[in-house]
Structure formats: structure tokens, C-alpha cells
Chains A and B, each alone.
Chain A
Amino acid sequence: MGYTLVYTQVLEFLPYLIKGAWISLQIAILAFFGGMFFGLILATIRSFGNNISNKIVIWYVTFFTNTPQLVQIYFLFFALPEFGILLSPYIAVLLGMTLNAAAYLCEIQRAGFLSIRQNELDAAKTLNFSLFQQVKYVILPHIMRVLFPPLSNHYIIMTLGTSMAAIFGVEELTGRAFNINSETFRSVEIFSITALIYIVITFIATFLLAIIGRYFFKAKIRIIQ
């Protein structure tokens, strides 16, 4: 073993890496909420739509959950310019992750719809709840409680998935680690620090989500698996 760990040289780049982590977080949060919104529309169509619209959603979900996310982003980045649509790396990654998340989050949210208990709604109706009141007092609290844990998990998976953006030259956390690596060649130090930053980000997120889930939605979430 001729390799000695030297962290001093790499630690200078810590602020640079942390700024990269901020970009990773941005991508994860934007893609997650974009995916939630688009996924909700898909789940609504899938639950209440007609035969044809159902089929379209099923194909969409099947396609996006059965092809690698990397390939999906490659397609957006390299194939769309052939049709005259030129996307910046950041936008291509963000769009790719959003479309992919929409497929998964559609299925998660649909499971939430399916878990609504008809007999509670019957009770609410006979107690004269309006549709809005049914949603507010019966449907949403129940759905949030059921959905919060799988949604939190998916958010964490997406946060880590943002490292794919490095391949397209987006200067988020992993991209910046690549940059420093090619300058200093201190690979072990750089990638160990990068991994540590990812752990810190996901740990903070898990912790916050667990608190929100427990106190607002009475969802059961464990912080350490």
C-alpha cells in the first residue's frame, strides 16, 4: 500500500462541494414536487378516467418504471435535439427525473386513493359532510398517513439519484467531485467526503420527514432502518 490519505488538500474544496450539494438538493426537491403534481394528475386519470386514458397512463408508468432513468435522460438530452428541442443539461436532468418520478409517484398516490375506506365516506355523507369537508376531515388525513412513508422513501432515493446529473456535466455534488478529482487526483479522499455529504443530506431529510410525518400525519416512520 503506497497510498497515504491526505485530506488537507481536499478540505479546501469543501465550500465548493457544499454549494454543489445545494444544487443536488434543488434538483431533488423540484423533481419531487413536479413528479408529485404530474403523478397526482396521472393517478386521478387512472382512478377515475375512461378506458383509453387509463391505457395511456398504464403505458406511461410501465415505460418509465421499466427503463433505466439514465437512458431516459440520455434520450431527452441527445435524441430531442434531433427534433429541434435543445435542452440544457440541468433542464434535461430535471425534466427526466420529474417524468420518472411522476410514474412512481402516480402509483404511490393511486395506492392512497385505493386505500380510502368507503364506509367512512358513507358515514361522512350521512353526517352531512360536504364533498370539501369529506376531503378535509376524512380523505386527506387518511391518505397522508398512508402515503407519507413511501413518499419520503422516494424522495430520499431521488436525492441520491441526482448524482446522475454529473454525467451530463451539471455541476452538482458528484459533478464537482469529478472536477476536483481531475485536478488533484485525491480520489479516495474526495469521494469519501462526497459520500459523507450525501449521508448528511439524506439523514437531515429523513429526520425532518419523520418529525413532520409523526406530528402532522400520525405516520409511522423509523429514522434508522
Chain B
Amino acid sequence: MPQIEIKSINAFYDKLHVLKNIELNVSKGEIVSLIGPSGSGKSSLLKMLVGLLIPKSGKIYLNGNQVNFKNQSDLRTIREQIAIVFQQYNLFQNMNVLKNVCIAPTKIQKRNPKEVNEQALTLLEKVGLKDKLNSYPDELSGGQQQRVAIARALCLNPQILLLDEITSALDPELVKEVLDSIRLLASEGMTMLIVSHEMNFVKEVSSRVVFMDEGSIIEINNPKNIFEKPKEKRTLDFVSKILKEK
């Protein structure tokens, strides 16, 4: 049974049809990367999975249970199991690093503060920020903020992690430190959906790669094939253009 089952999903921003008939299954421990040009619906797909974009039609199953996005308790459940890291980090500017990581587990999930604190310290150490606990987001570099955001997402103990272009707002020298954190998670078997423009990274970590264009899934393939011999012409156009720029 797939961990996430997405069945003929359609979603709109006002009148803009951003997700067209999306079908995708993700199994436990899989790392699925979404690639495609800007505006192709990759981020919208992730936003939909955490209930920031409510689909108009179609069905989603999480661990075999259908999710009703209009039901608050269903929404809570998916948000407990699926965590997202945003392109712009979206940290709380009025809280320091430790508070950013601990607030949801302690105040929302009502877990034991001491235990959360320990977990937060472990996570922040893992992403290399143990000496920044009391810093505020505006005192950190983009790469550091992004790693705080990753720690914040992980502290929720999610089953699935969504990464929405997490390196595209970063300077090239900061990209590596963030990707290293993700590689570590990948090796631990976390299910991940990754939207990324870092093609080498995608090729390296993904179990499967999904190519999207204009709101539709064009091709799903393994990372080797999608870059070397894609089935669809549009995929070929995209990857050859991207790889030429590198």
C-alpha cells in the first residue's frame, strides 16, 4: 500500500488551473523529486499535500485513509504526518532558533517540553547549528535559516517530508550545507517529496523523478532514464536545456 496516493487531483488558484488530473503514488521510504519549469505546478502539488491549496476534485489517501481537506480533523492529521520546508524558510521572526523548532511540538502537539528540547538540540546539532540556539532568524544567513526550517520540520516527527525548492533562495556556497543535511535524512529512510532545480542532487538522491509541465505530470521515470533517455519529448527539451546551462 502506498503511503501517499494522489488520484486525479485538480486544483485552482482563482481561475488558474494549477494542477491538472494529477496521479501519483509514493511508497514509504521513497524519495520522489519533482522537476519542471517555473509555474508547472510542482510547488502547488506540495502545498496541496499540507492543505494550503484545497483541491477542487480528486482524492488523496494517506496510509490508505482518504483525506477530506474540508474536515478540520483530517487537515490536522495530514499536517501532523506531513511536514513541509519552504523556499523562503518561513521562520517565525519573533522567535529565536530554539523556540522556532520547539514551539509546535510543545504548544501544538503538547509533548513534554524537556523531551522536545532534547530532540531539538539533537536536530540542530545534526544540521550544524548547535551554537546558534539563541540567535534570531534575521541574524542568520539564508543557509542557516533554511537548516533551522529543516530542523523545525523534523522535530514534528513527520512520516513524510516535503521540500519546496529549499536551495533556490541560497547562494551557491550555502547550497551544499543544506543538501548535506538532506542527504543525511535520505540515508535514514525518510519519505520525501523534493521540488528542486539542483539536477545533480536530484539524480543522486531520488528513487523516482517526476517531470511536470503546465500543471500536468508529463513523465515519471527513474533518475537515470529521465536525464539520459526520457520517454517524452517535452522532458527531453527541458532536461537538455537545463543540463546545457550547467
Contacts and interface: CB of A to CB of B under 8 A. Distances in A.
A and B: bona fide binding partners? yes
Given A137-B95, A138-B94, A142-B93, 18 more contacts: A117-B93, A119-B86, A126-B51, A126-B52, A126-B79, A126-B83, A127-B79, A127-B103, A127-B104, A128-B76, A128-B80, A128-B108, A129-B104, A133-B107, A133-B108, A137-B103, A141-B94, A145-B94
A120 B107 contact: no
Interface string A136-171: 011001100100000000000000000000000000
B86 A138 contact: no
Contacts of B92: 120, 123-124, 137-138
Contact of B86 (A122, A137, A142): A122
Contact of A123 (B91, B94, B109): B91
5 contacts: A125-B79, A127-B156, A128-B76, A142-B93, A145-B94
A225 B142 CA distance: 34
A214 interface: no
Contacts of A138: 92, 94
A186 interface: no
Contact of A127 (B93, B94, B95, B108): B108
Interface residues of B, number: 23
B90 interface: yes
Interface string A25-43: 0000000000000000000
B84 interface: yes
Interface in B93-132: 93-95, 103-104, 107-109
Contact of B88 (A119, A126, A218): A119
B94 A218 contact: yes
B84 A126 contact: yes
Most buried by B among A117, A127, A141: A127
Nearest to B47: A122
B108 A123 contact: no
Interface residues of A, number: 18
A138 B103 CA distance: 11
- 5 pairs of A and B residues whose beta carbons are closest in the complex: A123-B90, A127-B104, A119-B90, A141-B94, A126-B50
Question: B interface, by DSSP: helix, strand, loop or mixed?
Answer: loop
Given A119-B86, A128-B108, A142 B94 contact: yes
Interface of A: 117, 119-120, 122-129, 133, 137-138, 141-142, 145, 218
A124 B156 CA distance: 13
A112 B83 CA distance: 29
Contacts of A119: 86, 88, 90
Nearest to A127: B104
B212 to A, nearest CB: 21
Nearest to B75: A128
A167 B85 CA distance: 61
A196 B77 CA distance: 63
A218 B80 CA distance: 31
Nearest to B103: A137
Nearest to A139: B94
Contacts of B90: 119-120, 122-123
A218 B51 CA distance: 33
A147 to B, nearest CB: 13
Contacts of A123: 86, 90-92
A129 B94 contact: no
A18 B109 CA distance: 54
Contacts of A218: 94
A39 B88 CA distance: 33
A141 B95 CA distance: 9
Given A117-B93, A120-B90, A142-B93, A125 B52 contact: yes
Given A122-B52, A141-B94, A128 B104 contact: yes
Contacts of A125: 50-52, 79
Contacts of B86: 119, 122-123
Contact of A128 (B79, B93, B95, B152): B79
A125 to B, nearest CB: 7
A1 to B, nearest CB: 58
